[in-house]
């Protein structure tokens, strides 16, 4: 499945879940540029999601440094979601986990590079299907 299709499906399902639970889901207006990857969850969740899709089957993500910095500097609760493989699985990282992980990642001029098989350990929670909750931004459907 193409990455943009998987990202669209993720946010479509999340939108339905949020609507059913009275949570507003909208683009985050402070993103460094217009992006499909970052959404803001309103009350009661009040957090920002940065979702990335691997462009390879073995889990390989580029995390944009500018977007990451904006999220970190926002002072808001946020989560990083790395959608993996061909099914609806993904890794969920709190902002604390994401910041810890980023400090040890390889990087290029614009991205932190996360590779599922080489990043030991991926300390995020592997979740079989994703949605929002007040406690952790996301939980299995």
Classify residue 140: in a domain, yes or no: no
Domain that holds residue 13: 3-127
135 is a domain residue: no
pLDDT for residue 30 is more than 50: yes
Compute CA distances 110 → 26, 70, 87, 115, whole Å: 25, 14, 28, 16
Residue 23 is part of a domain; what is its CATH number? 3.40.1350
What digits encode the pLDDT tens for the residues 83-131? Answer: 876 666 788 888 998 888 888 888 888 998 887 765 544 555 444 443 3
Number of compact structural domains in the chain: 1
**Residue at 45 is within a domain:** yes
Q: What is the pTM of this model?
A: 0.79
| 136 inside domain | no
pLDDT for 40 equals 92
What is the pLDDT at residue 127?
46
Q: How would you list the strands of the sheet with 111-115, edge to edge?
A: 60-64, 111-115, 106-107
Residue 118 in domain = yes
Residue 47 located in a structural domain: yes
The answer to whether position 133 is within a domain reads no
Q: Is 43 within 8 Å of 23 (Cβ atoms)? A: yes
* Residue keyed to tokens 């940065």: 50
């Amino acid at each position: 499945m193409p990455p943009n299709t998987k990202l669209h499906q993720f946010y479509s399902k999340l939108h339905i879940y949020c609507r059913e639970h009275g949570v507003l889901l909208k683009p985050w207006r402070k993103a460094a540029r217009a992006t499909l990857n970052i959404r803001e969850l309103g009350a009661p969740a009040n957090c920002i999601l940065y979702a990335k899709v691997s462009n390879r089957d073995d889990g390989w993500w580029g995390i944009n440094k500018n977007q990451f910095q904006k999220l970190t500097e926002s002072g808001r609760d946020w989560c990083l979601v790395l959608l993996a493989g061909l099914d609806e699985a993904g890794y969920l990282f709190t902002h604390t986990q994401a910041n810890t992980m980023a400090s040890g990642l390889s990087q290029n001029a614009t991205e932190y590079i996360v590779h599922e098989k080489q990043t030991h350990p991926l300390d995020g929670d592997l979740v079989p299907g994703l949605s929002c909750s007040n406690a952790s931004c996301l939980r299995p459907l």
